[in-house]
Amino acid sequence: MRRLKSLGWDLDAEASSEEAKLHDRLEEFIVYLDNNRGFIVNYGDRYRHGEPIASGFVESAVNQVISKRFAKRQQMPWRPRHAHDLLQIRTAVLNDQLRPHVERWYPSIAGEEDHRPAA
């Protein structure tokens, strides 16, 4: 699975240990890129289409909320499992996927007027 060889960079018998380490790390990096190709963001494309290219403000808000709730001196700290469940529910609300789940559990509300919960 030596991809670097196909790119024209192969180690010769006299390669130093540093060159061999670099070769191995580059090989690992190429495999990583190949395996995660579908998840790597094309920031130039996003920029050209006016889409956000940074999520730092969202990550910061999430970190503040979660770190505050996991603090030991809070009146009601979260456990990791409960935090995970809450985030799953929140995601379903934001993706308009919560109501169909609830309607399966409680069929009597299926005919009621659609009241979207506040996000």
Q: What Cα–Cα distance (Å) separates residue 52 from each residue in 6, 49, 93?
A: 36, 9, 21
Question: Does this model's pTM top 0.75?
Answer: no
* pLDDT digits 0-9 by tens, 79-117: 778 888 888 888 888 888 888 888 888 888 877 665 555
- Domain borders along the chain are 3-39, 52-78, 79-119
